[in-house]
Amino acid sequence: MHIKKLEVKNFRNHKSTIVNFSQGTNILVGDNAQGKTNLLEAVCLTCVGRGWRTRKDKEMINFESDLASVKTITAKKFGNIEIEVGISKQSKKTIQINKIPIQKMGELMGQINCVFFSPDELRLIKDAPSDRRRFLDIDISQLDKVYFYNLLRYHKVLAQRNALLKSAATEDIESGLDIWDRELAKTGTYIIKKRIEFLDLLRPLTEKVHSFLVSGKETISLVYEKNIDIIITHNVKDSVNETNDILNLSINNAESIFLDALKKSRTKDMKLRTTNIGPHRDDIYISINDKDVRTFASQGQQRTVALSLKLAELELFKNLTNETPVLLLDDVLSELDESRQSRLFQAIKDCQSIITTTALPENIIDINIINVYKGQILE
């Protein structure tokens, strides 16, 4: 998989820009505030339907316009795919796949898979658990549309349950909580199951990549921390039907445990007027040499851990989809010494990458250099 062409109109500081990418390494070079990162964000928008720097689509529209559009043409194993996203200050965002409008965001997921890294990704390591949950949710949603829809459903039910906790008197909410709890347990169990499965696949790849980047000097560990004591087993049997029966029984048991935990937490929930247990409170514990990276790792170590996770994502997507995602790297080279730069380029040589930088790296060959200046591409 590789993006062949990007067209943006009135997007951020780009009035009308067309970029042609090569299948290998593409470097967007220019001074700060010229629009390099804006082009990465435009690519990301066509992959997951949103930018990473704002939750408000309207903020991505050029100040002098009311409309913006982004279009990518991507080569995949079975042909090209064209995705166009339209943003308006007056109406909802529109998305077209091969010129056919789609109605649900889930239809976009998985069309173009991308892995993104920027200095802000350090939040994944050192900031709130919500950043690590978001990391899981974006990745799994690109691979599994059912997960995406369950995630949307879970947060809608969670919002309804919290609204009930905030608005009603204690004696009036028991029956209402029973209704929301059943749905929360069902969708929440599915989310936990999929996150654990994904992390089980990602863990060995992260360990391998991290060991390569640090020359084997450190050992990384990833553990999914859930705040409900449920275990979902995955037994391998000769009979497929028997395996499915065991797995379904395991999930049903987990839902019952989830439901009981919600009931036990009701007194606390009603006192605090919010739901205190569930996958919306889960986290990933990351350690280096058995020490918590949030507390004991240096900034350089944290950056290497974040980059290891992203490169492991790349390999996992390739293994699961038989197509390599597009790698988007924003201003990562300036934070790496020459040795780690060299190892990074060696690690990504077999995928398409789009990288922003203010200065070209030395001793790197076979790259497509794209000069960006004041929202324009210079020849």
For residue 119, the number of C-alpha atoms closer than 13 Å in the C-beta half-sphere is 10
Alpha-helical segments (H) within 3-122: 36-48
- Predicted TM-score (pTM) of this structure: 0.78
Average pLDDT for 107-125: 83
Average pLDDT for 84-88: 94
Is the model more confident about 67 or about 213? 67
pLDDT (0 to 100) of residue 251? 58
Token readout for 64 is 């002098």
pLDDT-derived band of residue 195, with 50, 70 and 90 as boundaries? very high
With a cut of 90, say whether residue 176 has pLDDT above it: no
Please report which helix (H) or strand (E) contains residue 174, including its range. helix 174-213
Exposed / middle / buried, residue 365 (Cβ in 10 Å: 0-12, 13-18, 19+) = exposed
How far apart are the C-alpha atoms of 59 and 109, rounded to whole Å? 22
Taking alpha carbons only, the member of 10, 81, 2, 70 closest to residue 41 is 70
pLDDT (0 to 100) of residue 254? 85
pLDDT (0 to 100) of residue 247? 41
Q: What is the mean pLDDT of the chain?
A: 87
Token readout for 15 is 């009035």
pLDDT-derived band of residue 171, with 50, 70 and 90 as boundaries? low
pLDDT-derived band of residue 109, with 50, 70 and 90 as boundaries? confident
With a cut of 90, say whether residue 192 has pLDDT above it: yes
| Positive or negative: CA dihedral 123, 85, 92, 37 | positive
How far apart are the C-alpha atoms of 46 and 84, rounded to whole Å? 7
With a cut of 70, say whether residue 365 has pLDDT above it: yes
pLDDT-derived band of residue 150, with 50, 70 and 90 as boundaries? very high
How far apart are the C-alpha atoms of 167 and 259, rounded to whole Å? 22
pLDDT (0 to 100) of residue 360? 83
Average pLDDT for 244-257: 62
Dihedrals phi, psi of 17, to nearest 5 degrees: -135, 135
- 44-64, pLDDT tens digit by residue? 999 988 887 777 888 899 988
Token readout for 1 is 């998989």
Share of the chain above pLDDT 90, in %: 51
- Strand pairing class (2-11; 67-76): antiparallel
pLDDT (0 to 100) of residue 240? 37
How far apart are the C-alpha atoms of 275 and 348, rounded to whole Å? 42
pLDDT (0 to 100) of residue 187? 95
How far apart are the C-alpha atoms of 320 and 30, rounded to whole Å? 35
For residues 147-178, b (16+ Cβ closer than 10 Å) or e, as one string?
bbbbbebbeebbeebeebbeeeeeeebeebbe
With a cut of 60, say whether residue 233 has pLDDT above it: no
Token readout for 340 is 């780690």
| Positive or negative: CA dihedral 354, 355, 360, 361 | negative
Which amino acid would we find at residue 292? Answer: D
Taking alpha carbons only, the member of 36, 24, 52 closest to residue 357 is 36
Dihedrals phi, psi of 373, to nearest 5 degrees: -145, 115
How far apart are the C-alpha atoms of 275 and 341, rounded to whole Å? 44
Is the model more confident about 348 or about 158? 158
pLDDT-derived band of residue 231, with 50, 70 and 90 as boundaries? low
